[in-house]
Structure 1
């Protein structure tokens, strides 16, 4: 029924019925359009008359109650809900549907949106529109032409700042948004992983290390170095210092990197020598031969037996107790019986050389110096 037909019908009724009919055709009606209540008093036979009087044209997707051809009576309310195409970009995934809701929050509460959320949850069990952030206010009126709304659902993330971890739920779309939400700033030396432009995802770990780089200058001791030189006149194992070492001094500038309160790197970036260190010269013996001194293996079996008792038969033992070699010579006994013909200490000499020195000692004192004899 269009406006022209309705107007003709009203005119015919007025001409036929006169004043009394006109009074009966005047209706006190309220019109609710997407929740907005309008006064729609006037001459009307049907709902179509009420709508035509307000210039409202319906489309196939709109809803009206009662129906357009239903008769109207005074005190009645006619409700119109425009059909709108609503697209929700949920975490970047678009979902479109028809809604007759007047506002966004009303649309989010409809079965259509619940169905969309259920589909999303099938692939991402934690997806929920409850507590989500939207690009327009929840109480915003949806235009008849439809709307596209960005929706960011709550995400569970681990935020580690300065080494301290916090589990939280956020509706920030990016890492930058999360940091802003938590009132956090990234310093010039700080380290952020991932980058600020990274989209926030569920179960994500975001790390912000606090980094401080500073420089410090101080005067330090420079230890002397030891330079070794071989000396063939000294037995192997002997050494002597010919030049004493002396520490030096230097002024050093360090670049110190502190990550989350702990020093992670310390590098010398500048150095000025104040006093140069003096190397210590150490002569090290290399003599290992007997230099023509004869070997005396008399009583070898006896010395082997004594060695087994004294040292377990280990001819090169040195336990640090002041006794050396298989026959456990102390330094005085070794030196006084010509041990230095062979080595600086008994443990540095061979079995044959130790037996030779033992035979020299035996000629003076027999086996009395050995408790195991």
Structure 2
């Protein structure tokens, strides 16, 4: 019979009491161990780790995990205090940092954990640094190159602003402003120029791109002579029909305005239908669009090119007979009022070339010709 069996079957009260004492001791030890065991989070210079501990003090927890706070280090709870389950113990160690601010060195000590935190401590949270803001500061020291924000006067392709940006060079400033330079852009001063306070920066945005546009194709003209129309006169008999084509262009813009447009290729989609135009062959003065002679006639004769007032002056611009004859008017008609508008203008141009606008002294002055 086994010992356990004997004890269980024994009628001895002493044996039963002894067994109970042993079981009580084992149970109490297990309960005590469970109570002393704790889960703790250590956050050292922003880096966290989760540990299990049965230590009686925060200092012991740290030492057990290779962390021995020195003078100047900051711990968020007293080292002598007892750790609690699920507690976070924070240690921010003292560090020596050299800040080079716009080229000027500044030595400081800090308990900050990251580059961003040390800048925030110094009121430089928006400053530019060579290291990322979330980089962890090493305990044995660090050098940080810091550029403070500077307000500048920026003219970017005609859009003016006064941004305050931390950047070392003009090119960096434009990139940080969300307006980086393209290889074809121009900037004054040059992109590598160091930024200074109140600097004037002028950017010219130059862009060349290819675009395909669908355009009308002008109908070609088929002409035929018409002896009922005066020479120089054209009359459209059939306007034809424009075609369609995809035309590829190389387009260069400066600050958004087109300065050069070069055709690269053309693909006709719809062929145009040719127009038919009648061209006058009848002798006479060529057609003249509305212009200065009509303004002069409006003053001289209220624009009546066929007027004969009976005072010795004829036509829209009031020729006398001698002037008409001298400059070849008889080629067209016996008197000015019997000639067409175009024929009167042809003689008027010869008169003006010889005598100037003084041939019509009053009206030429009134309409600002002299």
TM-score (norm 1): 0.40
Q: TM-score, normalised by structure 2?
A: 0.40
